[in-house]
Structure 1
Amino acid sequence: MKNTIKAVLLATLFILSACRKADSKNTETKAETKAVPEFKIDSVKITDSIKVSEKLTLKYESTMLVFPTITDQALLDSIYYERKGITDFSKQGLQNFLNKDKTEYFSSVKDKNNDWTSDIAYPQTWNSGAFMKLRSHIKDFLQIQYLYSSYEGGAHGNYGFSERIFDLKTNKKLQLKDITTMPKARLEQLLFKNINTIPSGTTDSQGAVKNSDMLLLEVIPANENFYFDDKNLYFHYSPYEIAAFAAGDITIPVSWDELKGTLTSEFKERMKIN
């Protein structure tokens, strides 16, 4: 009888010990899960203007995205690659940078000899703009569009786009070779074939004008301004890059089917492309 009771007690102690270990493992697993920071995004913005003379007003606009959970310095440098002089990537740090950048822009125009403003024939507003826009965050790929615009007199202002993709697993900017191994010449043929897939929106007296009618080049290069979604890889071209200004910016899609057989195995698997 004593041996039976002793056996029961030992079995009970063993079960309790196993439960404690299981609870401990579950707690550790939960702790590890909580330790992974959730991706967060914020932004800072500034819009201001000053009057330089009776005929000239200056306007400054800028929006910058803020990524509080990204801590890799090299990656942050790459994300803000064109905004030189940023050392503090916090929300307040980026806001301070915009305030400083605005002041320097206003001063760069105001500090010129005032006599030059007399050449301005009619009241006008000059502007400087820089904007960041989140295209998407999927499969740890962070896609950002950058737009830069300016006007300093003349028939029209100028603007341009830059598209950049960042791999948050490697903390590096994604290159075209990371997506496809298609030979340059073949990719250029696809770009030329697909030039009119997305309408330009430009019209004349005879109606809609095709992108191909305004091309300045015989060969469309595969530039580094690309992004993607679940169906296509897109190449984005700023005004004058491949076509007349009237065409505006042009986006040319190349489908995953057209790139079939050249997609890198890592990218294809990660994006679940059939």
Structure 2
Amino acid sequence: MKNIIAVLAISSLLAVSACKKTENNNTVSGNTEAVEAERFTVDSVKINDSIKINDSLSVKYSSRMLVFPTLKDKTLLDSIYFTEKNISDFSKNGLRNYLQKSKNEYFNQIRKDSKDWGSDLTFAQEWYEDRGMNIKSNSNDYLHIEYVWGSYSGGAHDNYGFSERVFDLKNKKRVVLKDITAMPVNKLEALLMKNINRINSGTTDNKGEVNNSEMLLVDKIPATENFYFDNKNLYFHYSPYEIAAFAAGDITIPVSWGDLKGTLNPEFMKRMKIN
């Protein structure tokens, strides 16, 4: 009888131990799922629509916006959606509703304006507004987003442009030039003027050497905050008309890390693994 009681006692102890082990495993699994849920994720919303204003004019609206479900910092999100106005709901549904509202405002404005000049159109035209956000890279907790826009509302040609922004996901802020380099602005602008002639655009001088500086509309190229970077260079992106004529298109000028040697932020160098 004593042996039977001992066996039952051991069996009960093993059963309790197994239950606790299962509970612990479930707890660990739950934590793992929570960690997985907080990993950086990206979604998007898009809207396309068109209307016909009259026999001579049709209008198209298109917009694509990225959604970041795991980003919660409002200051960071405000900076990411800097091209928009008064966004308070950064969820997928909230951004979809915002795009719908923007589309309606655009169509209503064209309807209103066309009452004054609609009869002046002498041939059929299609006007449009197109905006988008694209992730160009996400490395070392630096998120690079390119914002693009294009539009046509009559005239000789349409218009388009780019904005580049890099966000420091680790410190929840937009990256600015002083986070990268301490080089004085005038020296950086001198590098930009020199490096524009490293871009092969087809513009050459009478010796056959690249001479892109001849097509500039400015005396000096500004070191703007419209930049991005990779493991080789810092790049400054300029939209049409910003520094050159529309025919030149958009221009991207590289500045190598070697050009900036001795002025780079040590923390930035460490994260980007720049030697």
The verdict on a shared fold, with TM-score over 0.5 as the criterion, is yes
Output one character per residue of 1:149-190: Cα deviation in whole Å (capped at 9) or x when no partner: 211100011112111111111111111000011111111111
Alpha-carbon offset, residue 201 of structure 1: 6.5
Output one character per residue of 1:120-147: Cα deviation in whole Å (capped at 9) or x when no partner: 1211111111111111111111111111
Q: Is 1:238–1:248's contact at 8 Å kept on the other side of the alignment? A: yes
Q: Is 1:211–1:243's contact at 8 Å kept on the other side of the alignment? A: no
Structure 2: gaps spanning 5 or more residues: 1-20
Distance between the aligned counterparts of 2:171 and 2:202, measured in 1?
A: 39
Match of 1:80 in 2: 81
Alpha-carbon offset, residue 114 of structure 1: 2.6
Q: Is 2:198–2:210's contact at 8 Å kept on the other side of the alignment? A: no
Q: Is 2:197–2:210's contact at 8 Å kept on the other side of the alignment? A: no
Distance between the aligned counterparts of 2:213 and 2:137, measured in 1?
A: 29
Q: Does 1:64 align with 2:65?
A: yes
Match of 2:185 in 1: 184
Q: Does 1:108 align with 2:116?
A: no
Alpha-carbon offset, residue 115 of structure 1: 4.9
Alpha-carbon offset, residue 112 of structure 1: 2.9
Output one character per residue of 1:230-269: Cα deviation in whole Å (capped at 9) or x when no partner: 1110000011111111101100000111111111000000
- Describe the shift of the 1:122–1:153 C-alpha distance in structure 2 as closer, same or farther (beyond 3 A): same
Q: Does 1:37 align with 2:56?
A: no
Alpha-carbon offset, residue 197 of structure 1: 2.6
Output one character per residue of 1:83-114: Cα deviation in whole Å (capped at 9) or x when no partner: 10211111111111111110110000112353
Distance between the aligned counterparts of 1:178 and 1:249, measured in 2?
A: 25
- Describe the shift of the 1:231–1:33 C-alpha distance in structure 2 as closer, same or farther (beyond 3 A): farther
Distance between the aligned counterparts of 1:208 and 1:100, measured in 2?
A: 51
Alpha-carbon offset, residue 31 of structure 1: 5.0
Q: Is 1:196–1:212's contact at 8 Å kept on the other side of the alignment? A: yes
| Secondary structure at 2:197 match in 1 | coil
Distance between the aligned counterparts of 1:94 and 1:156, measured in 2?
A: 30
Q: For residue 129 of structure 1, what is the amino acid of its counterpart?
A: D
Q: Is 1:202–1:247's contact at 8 Å kept on the other side of the alignment? A: no
Q: Is 1:200–1:250's contact at 8 Å kept on the other side of the alignment? A: no
Between 143-152 and 222-231, report the one with greater CA deviation: 143-152
| Secondary structure at 2:186 match in 1 | helix
Match of 2:123 in 1: 122
Residue pairs, 1:1-274, within 5 angstroms: 31=32, 34=35, 37-112=38-113, 114-200=115-201, 211-274=212-275
Distance between the aligned counterparts of 1:237 and 1:116, measured in 2?
A: 33
- Describe the shift of the 1:98–1:32 C-alpha distance in structure 2 as closer, same or farther (beyond 3 A): closer
Distance between the aligned counterparts of 1:210 and 1:106, measured in 2?
A: 44
Alpha-carbon offset, residue 36 of structure 1: 7.4
Q: Is 1:202–1:246's contact at 8 Å kept on the other side of the alignment? A: no
Output one character per residue of 1:47-73: Cα deviation in whole Å (capped at 9) or x when no partner: 111110111011101110111110111
Q: Is 1:196–1:210's contact at 8 Å kept on the other side of the alignment? A: yes
Q: Over aligned residue pairs, what C-alpha RMSD do you find?
A: 2.6
- Describe the shift of the 1:167–1:229 C-alpha distance in structure 2 as closer, same or farther (beyond 3 A): same
Distance between the aligned counterparts of 1:112 and 1:152, measured in 2?
A: 11
Distance between the aligned counterparts of 1:209 and 1:130, measured in 2?
A: 33
Q: For residue 265 of structure 1, what is the amino acid of its counterpart?
A: P
Alpha-carbon offset, residue 209 of structure 1: 8.4
Alpha-carbon offset, residue 202 of structure 1: 7.8
Distance between the aligned counterparts of 2:126 and 2:137, measured in 1?
A: 33
Distance between the aligned counterparts of 1:176 and 1:96, measured in 2?
A: 34
Q: For residue 107 of structure 1, what is the amino acid of its counterpart?
A: N
Distance between the aligned counterparts of 1:161 and 1:224, measured in 2?
A: 12
- Describe the shift of the 1:146–1:113 C-alpha distance in structure 2 as closer, same or farther (beyond 3 A): closer
